[in-house]
Structure 1
């Protein structure tokens, strides 16, 4: 029954959150229904094209039924309800860590906020601990590797040997290339520099942690309860809400930061919409590296303003 109504429940939650934000915040309504509508279309259309291309490639060349059976076997024996509960707790700890470390590091930053290098340290430390190290440890203790069960899941996600599962690079290149073609004439690209390379390395680590947590762990388990699209939509809502909440403390957040209500609505329209494609790519190819590559490319195209200043832009 949960699987049957999973997609409807996820869409209903997203609609309530977005509708409430639009109703309560005139600035957000101006963004959505004013000049900002063009910017949303610029990003949504390439994402939609990428999703359609991924669907076509899987239909033509993929063996998704076989891959889904491998995922189901890898999840066999896992106490998934308990694991999802732990993920919610760890996500709360991640948010609390962002707030606490930002407050501590602010002492060493500029008077108007924390310096970009310290801000990136907050993002890295919090994600490495609560979205990577501790989740892996907890999943291990619930049957991933310590008990010798379920060790196929990391191999499926990270050791991708089948050629067709790398075909996801095609829609990634198409979507990112089209977004770049549409927006770079207006905002430009950051100039190559050591600071930019350091940010790319840091964000690659951040994206890897997030994709393992949100897609590899959370979405995979939610799909077992809510169905494929129910899991994708619910994970996208959680992903967007997380970025809305941590926006004031996160160096890599690309939201303007008016207030929580505004950022929630905008996060659903940006991070949530992008997450639908990330989630669909994961559901089609189960290849973490494709998702990470797309996240890093999007980061370069949409480098947050504070970090642009930090690298001299």
Structure 2
């Protein structure tokens, strides 16, 4: 049984939030989205939307394989876990916004709030992400992932920074791509889908996922930075959420998220 009233309200509230964010950026003239607070490079506001819709369109053309979510606990417990995980996601966003910033604070908040506490209090189970049956789930979502990554690379920018070392790349992949996808999509979104339905869960999770990026993808004031994060990172989150909901392939999530964090031009300079 789903929370139908809450489902409709949260979906509408999420869509209004995204629309308000777009209007805020247009009204304030901040339609060039910054990649990060320490990087002045920008991309046009329409790029994340085109990239997201391109990936979604490719996904709609390939039907999913029937899936089994029986590994999750019963409905009432799953619903409670979902709301507790939402609370942890909000605590992570608020804590990081109030912190002095930097990678040290990011890890100090991320590891306990997104990993240790969910496992310690049994709000989620570590084996969930690899016990899922991925047999036959690679070719089906591949066109969607490749379309998204092609558009992301086409409209992205070149990399002119220092040559990244292998240890840094692996740490970024594990602590960002894998950990964030496990928490936000595999643990949180899956539970919200059961209680709210697919699209409300995707939108709510995407906004929660995008919100903490306001600190590192801005520099124009918190309101504008939050709007930028909802439009920029939120669009990528919606695609990743739909990819997860439709195909249930965690490995593909890690790959796509990893390339978003470490784009192909950056990886190319390693060789």
TM range (shorter): 0.7 to 0.9
Match of 1:82 among 75, 80, 104: 80
| 1:73-152 paired onto structure 2 within 5 Å | 74-76=72-74, 79-95=77-93, 98=96, 103=100, 119-139=102-122
Indicate conservation of the 8 Å contact 2:21/2:228, yes or no.
no
Give the alignment's Cα RMSD to 1 decimal. 3.5
The residue aligned with 1:169 is 142
| 1:1-313 paired onto structure 2 within 5 Å | 2-3=3-4, 6-7=7-8, 9-16=10-17, 18-19=19-20, 22=23, 29-32=28-31, 39-57=44-62, 59=63, 62-64=64-66, 67=67, 70-72=68-70, 74-76=72-74, 79-95=77-93, 98=96, 103=100, 119-139=102-122, 153-157=128-132, 160-165=133-138, 167-184=140-157, 187-188=158-159, 190=161, 192-194=163-165, 197-205=166-174, 206-244=176-214, 247=215, 253=216, 255-301=217-263
Q: What is the number of equivalent residue pairs in this alignment?
A: 258
C-alpha displacement at 1:261, in angstroms? 0.8
Cα separation, partners in 2 of 1:121 and 1:20, compared to 1, 3 Å: closer
Indicate conservation of the 8 Å contact 2:95/2:109, yes or no.
yes
Alpha-carbon distance between aligned partners in 2 of 1:87 and 1:189, rounded to the nearest angstrom: 38
How does the TM-score come out when normalised to structure 2?
A: 0.78
C-alpha displacement at 1:172, in angstroms? 1.7
5+ residue gaps, structure 1, are 104-113, 146-150, 248-252, 305-310
Question: Larger Cα Rg: Structure 1 or Structure 2?
Answer: 1
How does the TM-score come out when normalised to structure 1?
A: 0.69
User: Aligned to 2:69, what secondary structure does the other structure show?
Assistant: helix
Q: By percentage of residues, which structure has more strand?
A: 2
